[in-house]
């Protein structure tokens, strides 16, 4: 059992902590809004007043935050993770962030004598709760081997992809497909519907066809009714697409479907739908072709 720290107790982070506690680990957590931690405190999680305080009492500290700016905020400054690290510790960031920024922070971590891994995840809330979440990990191989059993307490599939920043890059390369697939699925449903096929029937056929990836099976039904709480909203999805487009520009990789999908998400924001699950791209297309829910 390990002495762990965890920073970022949002939708995914809080559920990860639950699995770590259930596995018998000691966890001290921090979140900008403490009220989100109440349920975890009831389960035995300890509280840290700052990211530095969390790091000071842990052997391995995790972070799961919204974006690059949030990661920089929780790592830097007198109260940040870097201020609490000790030689030999491991800092594991599971956020979806800029690979360049991740490498920069890894160098800052190394200067303290600690080690950093970027370990973003692939999967949704339901995947996590069912114990099927998968990780991609970048950084020193020895540090990876040390934290592997802990990561497997969260999700069973962990793949080492190479040096620092490569897992962050792999996550961006993975996430662009989420939005692109959702857009293609929406196009198929709307084309069928305007041909005279009931929307529900079109969804049923597509979800039982060869195009039904795990993501489409999970999110496809959202075209019939969005969830009350967005699991991955438009702003978060567009953040990932912008990271992908920037990487594409830097690496000379054209990303045409990503670029088009990004514009549809911009339209969603313009329509006041930024806080909806990114499956709302269907609504944008539906209105463009004259259909309503």
Instruction: Look up tokens 């959702």; give the residue.
Output: 182
What is the spatial distance between Cα 147 and Cα 161, in angstroms, rounded to a whole number? Answer: 15
Is 36 among the catalytic positions? no
Residue 88 CA from chain centroid, whole number: 27
**Catalytic residue among 171, 194, 239, 292, which?**
171
Going by C-alpha positions, the residue among 180, 244, 262 that lies closest to residue 216 is: 180
How far apart, in Å, do the first and last CA atoms of the chain sit? 50
Instruction: Look up tokens 């956020």; give the residue.
Output: 95
Can you point out the beta strands (E) in the chain?
A: 3-7, 26-30, 46-47, 60-63, 90-93, 115-118, 121-122, 134-138, 157-162
Instruction: Indicate which residues carry an active-site annotation.
Output: 171
């Amino acid at each position: 059992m390990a002495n762990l720290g965890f920073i970022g107790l949002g939708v995914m982070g809080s559920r990860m902590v639950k699995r770590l506690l259930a596995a018998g680990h000691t966890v001290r957590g921090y979140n900008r809004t403490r009220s989100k931690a109440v349920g975890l405190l009831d389960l035995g999680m300890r509280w840290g007043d700052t990211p530095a305080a969390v790091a000071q009492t842990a052997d391995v500290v995790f972070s799961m935050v919204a974006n690059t700016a949030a990661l920089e905020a929780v790592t830097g400054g007198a109260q940040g993770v870097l201020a609490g690290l000790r030689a030999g510790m491991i800092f594991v960031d599971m956020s979806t962030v800029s690979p360049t920024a991740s490498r920069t922070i890894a160098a800052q971590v190394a200067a303290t004598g600690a080690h950093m891994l970027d370990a973003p995840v692939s999967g949704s809330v339901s995947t996590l709760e069912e114990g099927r979440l998968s990780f991609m990990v970048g950084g020193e191989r020895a540090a990876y081997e040390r934290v592997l059993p802990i990561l497997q307490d969260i999700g069973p599939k962990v793949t080492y992809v190479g040096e620092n920043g490569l897992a962050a890059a792999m996550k961006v390369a993975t996430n662009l497909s989420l939005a692109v697939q959702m857009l293609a699925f929406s196009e198929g449903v709307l084309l069928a519907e305007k041909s005279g096929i009931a929307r529900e029937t079109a969804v049923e056929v597509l979800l039982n066809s060869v195009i039904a990836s795990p993501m489409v099976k999970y999110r496809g039904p959202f075209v019939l009714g969005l969830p009350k709480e967005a699991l991955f909203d438009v702003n978060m999805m567009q953040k990932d697409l912008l990271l992908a487009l920037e990487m594409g520009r830097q690496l000379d990789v054209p990303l045409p479907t990503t670029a088009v999908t990004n514009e549809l998400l911009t339209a969603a924001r313009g329509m006041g739908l930024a806080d909806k699950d990114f499956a709302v791209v269907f609504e944008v297309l539906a209105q463009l072709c004259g259909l309503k829910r």
